[in-house]
A and B are shown apart, each in its own frame.
Chain A
Amino acid sequence: MKSGSPPSLRKGAGASLALLVLFLAAWQWGPGVLGVPSFIVPPLSAVAAEFVHAFEFDHLVLHTGVTVAEVLAGFALGSLLGAFVGYLLGMSPAAELVLSPYILALQIAPKVAFAPLFILWMGFTVYPKILVAILIVFFPVMVNVLTALRNVDPDLINLARAFKATRAQIFWKVEFPASMPPMFAGLRIGATLAVVGVVVGELVGGNVGLGYLLTFGEGQANTPLVFVSIVMLTLVGGIAYLAVILIERRVLHYLPARGVGSDL
């Protein structure tokens, strides 16, 4: 973002901040005013107190760390695999024709439904969680890369061909860079989906991770702990998403600046 942002932008940021304050205030005092019991919606202060408590006694850092590690591993492997298969299918229309019905079927199948199966296979370890994340991240990245390769302007390919480009040169100098913007769009979706995959895996089985903390809190009817887990998960997802956007801005620096807030 350029320095000296326009007044309208600053005004927008100010309004956003005001809305946040309003929301937090409503969270703190709203339940009391409306007579909602604190085991249904605990006020902000109770959640904050539970946060400190969880930090001290419930290994909040450990749970968060494990979830972050699973998200990172699942996201990295899932997007690498998705990009790889996307490029492979993009380069080979014949392979795409053969595999597309199965890919479509897998894409339609709700990936989180595989979580119990993976836990049956691999036990209460981190692996089933990572595997669900891989599976769920794989598709948006693969589909975006594949579509990007399909949509490269044929005249651009012909231009490279007319300069006597080899197949490899066409890929590295035209197709691969052209696929970057859609791939990053896929990675953004993947970053948030990776958290969903990991959490579902943790909910289904295991004794560590924020998803586990969530069910643990539920089992104890500790509503504030459930809220703490949700907030932490949102933070993890948000940071993953932001990290993708920061990398995207570096890689796609050549694109014209987009409209205000279109990234977020």
Chain B
Amino acid sequence: MPPPFHSVSLRLEYRNVTMRFADRGGSGVLTAVRGVSFALADGEVVSLIGPSGCGKSTLLAVGSGLLAPSEGAALVDGVPVEGPNAHVAFMLQKDLLLPWRTVAENVMFGVEIQGVPQAERRRRAANLLAQFNLAEFSDHYPHQLSGGMRQRVALARTLAVDPHVLLLDEPFSAVDAQTRMLLQRDLAQTLSRAQKTALLITHDLFEAVTLSDRVLVMSRRPGAIIDEIVVDVPGRADPIARRADPKVATYVARLMERLDIAHAPLERQPAAGNV
């Protein structure tokens, strides 16, 4: 499905990306994603949903330059991604905080690697921690924080390198439901304020709809984009308020239908019975 953008500048673009892996233990080839094309305009937030193993995370690895696609290319600001790229930062479900670094030092991890001068590193970390209400925890160690706080530190670390594009792989799926909503709000406000472009992978359909401008639906492996929903609900910066909009439920229902969620458990039952 070609993206509906022509004149707007594209921050992130996937052009006909196909990814094949050698099959585990066999001689076969496993196609994780096939012919995926889509693009994110500047400042756009797009969610990617699909069944487990459909290659969502593979696309993210391609976008961050950690994996080279078998065919096609990912482009950031119109330049093909040929390796890790300072304009892209990713965040995973795991917070990946370094236990031997304080909160502030963890936030500075990326900018430190990129050689940003120390005074500037400190300034950015202090700003971000203040923004996420973590200033008083600057000198704490990760094990002293709650899961939600750790994830906010991880988000601050991602933003500290001032990336053009954020790639978020189920960033909040490991925290409890209430914390998740607060984190979603923090993320939405931050993305909106900083005008960042973000690609969000999630299994949470409400998260996909309330946080994004568009939702892309992927098929089972080999993953391909099978649907696109433009979320026509105002107030992307406030997902909690957005959730109350009746259109959200309609979108979620359509996503459930596209993902065939109602029938998925029936398919699994025979397999379980065979054990």
Contacts and interface: CB of A to CB of B under 8 A. Distances in A.
B161 interface: yes
Contact of B114 (A153, A164, A177, A255): A164
Nearest to B65: A162
B94 A155 contact: yes
Q: How large is the interface on A (under 10, 10 to 19, 20 to 34, 35 or more residues)?
A: 20 to 34
A161 B96 contact: no
Nearest to B91: A159
A165 B113 contact: yes
Given A173-B113, A255-B143, A162 B98 contact: no
Contact of A173 (B65, B86, B109, B144): B109
A159 B84 contact: no
Interface string A172-190: 0110011010000000000
Nearest to B89: A162
Contact of A162 (B90, B94, B100, B143): B90
A160 B65 CA distance: 12
A contact patch SS: helix
Contact of B109 (A163, A178, A180, A252): A163
B66 A163 contact: no
A158 B141 CA distance: 22
Interface string B104-131: 0000011011100000000000000000
B64 interface: yes
Contacts of A160: 109, 113
A234 B101 CA distance: 37
B231 interface: no
B88 interface: yes
Contact of A155 (B96, B99, B141): B96
B114 A163 contact: yes
B99 A255 contact: yes
A155 B90 CA distance: 11
Interface residues of B, number: 26
B233 interface: no
Given A159-B96, A177-B98, A164 B143 contact: no
B84 A161 contact: yes
B98 A164 contact: no
Nearest to B112: A173
Which of A159, A161, A178 has the most chain B CB within a 10 Å cutoff? A159
Contact of B66 (A161, A173, A255): A161
Contacts of B229: none
Contact of A180 (B100, B141, B161): B100
A254 B113 contact: no
Nearest to B169: A155
Contacts of A156: 96, 98
Contacts of B114: 163-164
Contact of A177 (B92, B100, B141, B144): B100
Closest 4 CB pairs of A and B: A163-B110, A163-B113, A256-B143, A165-B113
Interface of B: 61, 64-66, 84-86, 88-90, 92, 94, 96, 98-101, 109-110, 112-114, 141, 143-144, 161
Given A153-B96, A180-B100, 12 more contacts: A155-B94, A156-B96, A162-B65, A162-B84, A162-B88, A163-B109, A163-B110, A165-B113, A177-B98, A255-B99, A255-B143, A256-B144
